[in-house]
Amino acid sequence: PPAVIAANLSVPTMVLDFPSLAEFEREVAKGYDTVGISFIVPNFAKAQHMARRVRQLAPSTRIVLGGHGTSIPDVERLIPCDAVCRGDGVGFMRQYYGEPVDAPIRHPAVESAFNRHFLGAPVTGTSAMLMPGNGCPNACEFCCTTHFFDKRYVPYLKTGRDVFEACAELERTRGATEFFVLDENFLKYRDRALELLALMEQHRKQWSFGLFSSAESIGQYGLDVLMRMGIFFLWIGVESKRHVFAKNQGVDMPALVAELRSRGTCTLASGILFLDHHTRQNIEEDIDYLVGLKADFVQFMQLGPLPGTALYERMERDGRLRHDIPYEEWHGQHRIWFDHPEFTPEESERWLREAFRRDLMVNGPSLLRMAETYMAGYERLLDTSDPFMAGRRRLLRERLITHWPSLPVIARLAPSSGARRRARILQARYEAHFGPASAATLARSAAVGATALKEALRLATIGSTRQPPT
């Protein structure tokens, strides 16, 4: 990411995150020797326009392209540029400026989330981005990350102590004790993770982590170890029931998700629709399988042959790619951009919406599922005599208290009677542990109810998400 590159160059560097075009142009006009543009495939047109504006406003400024968008064929011809970085940006830019390529990596201080809202109500608190490394050696044919880094892992923080010191610095400078780990498969490297946990215990650090992991990597640990580590959110690529990828072979996925949730770890199960084997008859089997996992979150993603991947190359050889569909649509949440033997692009959009609708109606709002997960983890630790795990229990209690005002709202507004009933049952569990809701909690619940209705109206009329500030 650009923030990591900037933190590891001696050249004075300005990073703009989410600039407006006017802000970008004002900065370019200052006369930098180089402008780097990092982009993904759906942002091709934006990157192209930005590069053309650099040429117009600062003709002597060099342009370096980076990010997954650089895998687009002939990108050097399509977007004005002087150099293209594919893969590790830190090493590339150090070499570009004649700096030591193998110098130690300095971790930047970057927030992982901002402008957060909870049923329309703003949420306070600081969480930081932790970036231990890039890439993944698992080499799933659809994964742009594994192919972008040549099917290998490039570690920035090589040891558990490196990760610990980065977290300690983020806590010192940003006040962060919660970290989102921007690493494709952090748990794959067991020695590093266990060394981090040992140092956390030694220094009594009650940090929390949200991260990505393959199921086979989770299997290296007992799940109690992950609970001890403070993993509050885990994103797992389930992909498909019928087509089991190597990373999931031999894994009892329903049991894994249930066991994680029983330990207070919110789980996102990610699945892929419109795989080659999917037909109108069997695609529902995969949808129902993902829904039946009862994860806190379910992501249905359309199969996406992105440039640079083995999947893209295979479909290009077979003449199945739809180059009449612009890159802006190549993101997996609208329509497929390849010829499928059973589904048209228009049908893929309808099936995708139905999959998400089915999950919501069967499992209820994710906010409710999260609160249920935190309650299960809290109840599991009620009788613990381990001081470190008692600290974990306190953190789960704090998360539960944060969610409490949402429960009466969910009990009124959830789209199914089953979810409304579960919200009322969970409220009773709250009261059994914490007593009746306080006047402050009831007041916050009323406020959240108002912001939830306002949010629903905003989405119905504007129909867009909030744009991040620069």
Q: What is the DSSP string of 145-211?
A: HHHHTTTS-EESS-SHHHHHHHHHHHHHHH---EEEE--TTGGG-HHHHHHHHHHHHHTT---EEEE
Confidence of residue 83 (pLDDT cuts 50, 70, 90): very high
Q: Token digits for 207?
A: 């940090």
- Distance of alpha carbon 391 from its chain centroid, rounded? 26
Residue 51 has pLDDT above 80, yes or no: yes
Residue 128 pLDDT greater than 80, yes or no: yes
| pLDDT tens digits, one per residue of 236-262 | 999 999 888 888 888 999 999 999 999
- Predicted model pTM: 0.93
Q: Which two tokens stand for residue 17?
A: 């995150």
Radius of gyration of the chain (CA): 23
Question: Do the bridges between strand 121-122 and strand 117-118 make them parallel or antiparallel, or are there none, so unpaired?
Answer: antiparallel
Q: Using the predicted structure, report yes or no on whether residue 61 has a pLDDT greater than 90.
A: yes
Largest CA distance in the chain: 69
Instruction: State the burial class of residue 409 (Cβ atoms within 10 Å of its Cβ: 0-12, 13-18, 19+).
Output: buried
Confidence band of 421 (pLDDT split at 50, 70, 90):
very high
**pLDDT tops 80 at residue 331:** yes
Give the span between the Cα atoms of 25 and 13, in whole angstroms.
16
pLDDT tens across 133-159, in order? Answer: 989 998 899 999 999 999 999 899 999
Residues paired with residue 267 on neighbouring β-strands, in sequence order: 234
Among 403, 398, 397, 399, CA closest to 445: 403
What was the pLDDT predicted at 456? 87
| Per-residue pLDDT, 233 | 97
Average pLDDT of every residue of the chain: 94
Q: What are the structure tokens assigned to 356, written together?
A: 């998400």
Would you state the pLDDT for residue 110?
87
Above pLDDT 90, what percent of the chain? Answer: 84
Q: What one-character DSSP code corresponds to residue 41?
A: G
| Distance from C-alpha of 417 to C-alpha of 420, rounded to nearest angstrom | 5
Token pair for 198:
């040992």
Say yes or no to pLDDT of 367 above 90. yes
Torsion angle in degrees (nearest 10) through CA of 300, 303, 307, 309: 100
Nearest to 280 by CA among 344, 338, 329, 331: 344
Tokens read off for 39: 């982009």
Tokens for 304? 């996406």
Closest CA to 39 of 51, 28, 56: 51
Specify the amino acid at residue 278: H
* C-alpha count within 13 angstroms, C-beta hemisphere, residue 290: 29
Determine the 3-state secondary structure of 329 from DSSP.
helix
Say if residue 210's pLDDT is above 90: yes
* Of 393, 353, 396, residue with least CA distance to 371: 396
Q: Which residues pair with 272 in a beta bridge?
A: 301
Average pLDDT over residues 147-172: 94
Dist. CA 252–CA 374, nearest whole Å: 22
| Euclidean distance between CA atoms 209 and 214, whole angstroms | 16
Q: What is the 3-state secondary structure (H, E, C) of 230-248?
A: CEEEEEEEEECCCCCCHHH
